[in-house]
Structure 1
Amino acid sequence: MKIPKKQSQNQDILTRNQLPLPPGSLGFPLIGETISFLRDPDFATKRQQKYGNIFKTNLFGSPTIMMLGAEANRYLFSQENQNFVIKWPESVAILLGSASLSTQTGSIHQTRRKLLSQAFQPRALASYLPAMEEISYRYFKKWERFNQLTWYPQLRQYTFDIACKLLVGTDATNDTHFTELFEECCAGLFTLPIRLPWTKFGKALKCREKLLTKIEEIILQRQQQGSSHQDALGLLLDSRDEDGKSLTIEELKDQILTLLFAGHETLTSALSSLCLLLAQNPEILAAARREQQQISCAGALTSEHLKQMTYLDQILKEVLRIIPPVGGGFRSIIQTCEFNGYRIPQGWSVSYQIGKTHQDQSIYKNPENFEPQRFDIDRAEDKSKPFSYVPFGGGIRECLGKEFAKLEMKIFAALLLRGYEWELVPGQNLDLVMIPTPRPRDALKVVFRSIHGVNEQSNVRPEVTQKSDALG
């Protein structure tokens, strides 16, 4: 006798509701274990050792189940909009905005993602290359004049300059106030959402409003100029959804603010990790330089040159494995479900951990070591199990700008390796601060100089400048 579908579903729900919750502690009332989560870089490791790969906690005011490992990633990413929907801490959701792609769900997320993806198609990415190269050379020359510098804040300026140029078509170097507002807004992202003027969140909210006003001015100016700009904003202004409708100014503002954040915060972390890990591994640095010397590149970098840099690809993948810029993500549970014999209850939050996935000894041999060769074609450790390498997340919410990020990292690294060398200043604290994105505690102090004293290649070539100006 066949059991009716509805009766079968009801039985499944009853069975799931009888399953035990994962082990763990919900911590203190209201705040739970949020303070430990924000301050302790070994938060997940300690609980994994005590409870296993799935445990309960309480973060940002919500009871939360943390699920670790490739299999957990596969389950979460494949159940988007079925059992789970995106969830950010309240402070992040408010500061990014309700019209941001990061906070949108369901069909609206799918249609907006399709629109925004036009800014990251291969043709668009190829057009970004000259400007990335020109801005990189300009910053390298500036750092060479400094000789000794604190690199992390300089890298923040560099990535923000590129994000403004290529995503919005504005020059951040000529508007220090815009940069300052953005930095203060970023500082409030992962904080308690207390709307008082002296709190980090309160200051960030005020900066967000000022930023949106500036972004609106840029949008209105661009609308009057027409569609001559080849950047993300230009593409968004020209784009239409399936019904032929364009984005409203209010939505454009939130989307552009999100693109600036995504193209700045996480990339700064990735580049500082690259510079730190190469400085700490001189044999890998030397091998990376040798690859660059073998690639003939008399003029500007091209996509063909970049394709030849296979060892650099492995290095960049390993950087993102060992110090992923995003530690994990949150989802809201919209339907009670089951994983590994435990109940995952509706109304709770669930979190996956990228860093813990990348340290899985059953997938990566000696995961604590910096070994780019683990990604060569013979070893391909990341291919042994699906969702074991997820620096950009996965599923339908995989990072939209991942190819933009990879391109910027590769251009930066290639030009840096060809013309410059850097040494870590002794005595500094290189322990990583993890929130909001990983960075060395003393902000990466280095001695920076061109190779062989004078580096002719580091002069900005006229044709590079002309191409980048055309990007507007």
Structure 2
Amino acid sequence: MSSRAVFDHCILLLPMVASTPAPLPPGSFGLPVVGETLNFLFDREFAKKRQARYGAIFKTRLLGRPTVVLMGAEANQFVLSTNMDSFSWREGWPGTFKQLLGESLFLQEGEEHRRNRKLLMPAFHGPALVGYVETMQSLTERYAQKWAAQGQLTWFDEMKQLTFDIASTLLLGSEPGSQTTQMSEWFADLTNGLFAPPIHWGWTPFGKAVKARDQLLHHIEQVVKERQARPTQDALGLLVHSEDEEGNRLSLEELKAQALLMLFAGHETTTSMLTSLVMSLAQHPDVWEQARQEQAQLMETSDAVTLEQIRQMPYLDQIVKEVERLYPPVAGGFRGVVKDFEFNGYRVPKGWMALYRIDAAHRDRTIYTDPDRFDPDRFSPERAEHKRADFSLVGFGGGPRICLGLAFAQLEIKLVAAHLLRYYTWDLVPDQNLEMTPIPTLRPRSGLKVVFKKRAIAPTQVTADQTGQRQP
């Protein structure tokens, strides 16, 4: 065959080569229908094992749907930013979430999401945050005094009550007391139903969750109507009277759904991070001591934790980042695939489910030195390990849909932590199970049992003996 004939033959083959689709990701769909759902739910190393075998992308079947799992900072950026038009929030989460959390910002897409996010924004940023500090501080001190009187407590449960009181007071305008206690119990039932089988019988976890949702929505409706008649400066009051460029406001049903989401998001993940933070301080006396010294210096100008002071706590900021990295409240996010895409040379079809794993990037050895170790200094200006790769720290999400309440949550976490560091001390009760359980949000299995007491001396007098034990 002449060289010209060979060239022509190759040209004819080009369309065939170009039309050959990329392969599906490696992995296994597992058993019929069930797939690998049971392994996913009960084996905490499920994703890590498959990443070791298949790499940063693999296929499986979860909850009856073919699923692609994406691992690492590059995958986070792909899902959360550069290719987010291939994914749907609404189509990614189980039906239980849609039923229990309603038509809120959490499940909205496109223009509807952008419009409502803009309406919600003023309640979580800028001047609104300034007005939240005093309430956060007074509630924190009220709970701390109660904990000191108790002496020994299970801190996760107590921390959840504190964060719910803060959320319900600042977001809904509720007064702490029997009403917020009842609402907190309803929210506990609602949360327990998010991952439960959708069986509507009243005695099932999901049945109880539906009842709790209805009770919460009924209460919120009454509060919305009060805010419509008499404006207030809590988040719901701001939201009731918030307008877009065309003068449109949220309807009653929209307000109820957004308020329910605000309460849910405003205390669940914050409780997880605060519990992990106080546990980590107790486990690392050297970190605790350095954090206390930072607070001691700030107390020379003001005993109260002010917003201006919170901006002057670089070491506490490093601790919060390290807690977010090592103990993210949720391990990943589900999305529905609404458009075919390719990643790392593999094709993922429309109609699949996608799961990006937060913890994969957070423990990536190419980004973080000795990633299983608690080390706040990795976020110091000198090391700044999270800047080695974009989207390597995504405990609060990332991209255009980063957590709306990020500034609110960080303010609350830092204020509570700073107050406890200044005036209180605690020790972990021995022989408890501190293994972290991920559902519905990350927390120690024991709930974190501690002995809690008021400090008897100024923070500047704290020392450590040769064994690393704190000296009162």
Residue 69 of structure 1, aligned match among 69, 72, 90: 72
> How far apart in 1 are the matches of 2:361 and 2:293?
32
**Aligned position for 2:95:** 90
Deviation, structure 1 residue 20: 1.1
> How far apart in 1 are the matches of 2:82 and 2:349?
14
Residue 160 of structure 1, aligned match among 164, 171, 178: 164
Deviation, structure 1 residue 84: 1.2
Q: Secondary structure at the match of 1:128?
A: helix
Q: Secondary structure at the match of 2:69?
A: strand
Are 2:125 and 2:408, in contact at CA under 8 Å, matched by a contact in 1? no
**Aligned position for 1:188:** 193
**Aligned position for 2:383:** 379
- After TM superposition, list the pairs within 5 Å mapping 1:397-408 onto structure 2: 397-408=401-412
**Aligned position for 2:8:** none
Residue 204 of structure 2, aligned match among 173, 195, 199: 199
Q: What is the letter of the counterpart of residue 256 of structure 2?
A: K
> How far apart in 1 are the matches of 2:440 and 2:19?
35
Q: What is the letter of the counterpart of residue 274 of structure 1?
A: L
Give the % identical residues.
50
> How far apart in 2 are the matches of 1:379 and 1:28?
46
- After TM superposition, list the pairs within 5 Å mapping 1:316-327 onto structure 2: 316-327=320-331
Is 1:40 aligned to residue 48 of structure 2? no
**Aligned position for 2:448:** 444
Are 1:172 and 1:178, in contact at CA under 8 Å, matched by a contact in 2? no
**Aligned position for 1:245:** 248
TM-score by length of 1: 0.90
Between 88-97 and 354-363, report the one with greater CA deviation: 88-97
**Aligned position for 1:150:** 154
Is 1:412 aligned to residue 412 of structure 2? no
Q: Are the structure 2 counterparts of residues 15 and 343 from structure 1 closer, same or farther at C-alpha, using a change threshold of 3 Å?
A: farther
> How far apart in 1 are the matches of 2:108 and 2:187?
22
**Aligned position for 2:359:** 355
Deviation, structure 1 residue 308: 1.4
* Unpaired stretches in structure 1, ≥5 consecutive residues: 1-10, 456-472
> How far apart in 2 are the matches of 1:216 and 1:171?
16
Q: Secondary structure at the match of 1:369?
A: coil
Are 1:331 and 1:349, in contact at CA under 8 Å, matched by a contact in 2? yes
Q: What is the letter of the counterpart of residue 210 of structure 2?
A: L
Q: Are the structure 2 counterparts of residues 231 and 75 from structure 1 closer, same or farther at C-alpha, using a change threshold of 3 Å?
A: same
Deviation, structure 1 residue 30: 2.5
**Aligned position for 1:110:** 114
- After TM superposition, list the pairs within 5 Å mapping 1:329-340 onto structure 2: 329-340=333-344
Is 1:287 aligned to residue 285 of structure 2? no
Q: What is the letter of the counterpart of residue 394 of structure 2?
A: V
Q: Are the structure 2 counterparts of residues 453 and 292 from structure 1 closer, same or farther at C-alpha, using a change threshold of 3 Å?
A: closer
**Aligned position for 1:54:** 57
**Aligned position for 1:306:** 310
Is 1:210 aligned to residue 178 of structure 2? no
Q: What is the letter of the counterpart of residue 319 of structure 2?
A: I
Instruction: Give CA deviations for 1:181-233 in whole Å, capped at 9, x if unaligned.
Output: 111011111222233323211211111111100110111122222x2x22210
**Aligned position for 1:262:** 265
**Aligned position for 1:219:** 224
Residue 235 of structure 2, aligned match among 215, 232, 237: 232
Instruction: Give CA deviations for 1:238-264 in whole Å, capped at 9, x if unaligned.
Output: 101232111111111110110101011
> How far apart in 2 are the matches of 1:197 and 1:15?
56
Q: What is the letter of the counterpart of residue 144 of structure 2?
A: F
> How far apart in 2 are the matches of 1:203 and 1:145?
34
> How far apart in 1 are the matches of 2:18 and 2:127?
51
> How far apart in 1 are the matches of 2:218 and 2:202?
19
> How far apart in 1 are the matches of 2:153 and 2:84?
47
Deviation, structure 1 residue 286: 0.7
**Aligned position for 2:32:** 29
Residue 271 of structure 1, aligned match among 255, 271, 274: 274
Instruction: Give CA deviations for 1:38-96 in whole Å, capped at 9, x if unaligned.
Output: 22221211111121111111222221100000111111122455211112122112211
Q: Are the structure 2 counterparts of residues 101 and 16 from structure 1 closer, same or farther at C-alpha, using a change threshold of 3 Å?
A: farther
Taking only aligned residues, the RMSD between alpha carbons, in angstroms, comes to: 1.9
Deviation, structure 1 residue 172: 4.2
Q: Secondary structure at the match of 1:259?
A: helix
Are 1:432 and 1:441, in contact at CA under 8 Å, matched by a contact in 2? yes
> How far apart in 1 are the matches of 2:281 and 2:30?
40
Are 2:330 and 2:438, in contact at CA under 8 Å, matched by a contact in 1? no
Q: What is the letter of the counterpart of residue 399 of structure 2?
A: G
Instruction: Give CA deviations for 1:111-154 in whole Å, capped at 9, x if unaligned.
Output: 00111111112211111011000000000000000001111100
TM-score by length of 2: 0.90
Are 1:172 and 1:179, in contact at CA under 8 Å, matched by a contact in 2? no
Is 1:341 aligned to residue 345 of structure 2? yes
Structure of greater Rg = 2
* Unpaired stretches in structure 2, ≥5 consecutive residues: 1-13, 460-472
Are 2:96 and 2:195, in contact at CA under 8 Å, matched by a contact in 1? yes
Q: Are the structure 2 counterparts of residues 299 and 293 from structure 1 closer, same or farther at C-alpha, using a change threshold of 3 Å?
A: closer
Q: Secondary structure at the match of 1:367?
A: coil
Are 2:228 and 2:241, in contact at CA under 8 Å, matched by a contact in 1? no
Q: Are the structure 2 counterparts of residues 169 and 259 from structure 1 closer, same or farther at C-alpha, using a change threshold of 3 Å?
A: same
Q: Are the structure 2 counterparts of residues 384 and 443 from structure 1 closer, same or farther at C-alpha, using a change threshold of 3 Å?
A: same
Between 356-365 and 299-308, report the one with greater CA deviation: 299-308
Between 185-194 and 29-38, report the one with greater CA deviation: 29-38
Deviation, structure 1 residue 453: 7.5
Q: Secondary structure at the match of 1:102?
A: helix
Q: Secondary structure at the match of 2:105?
A: coil
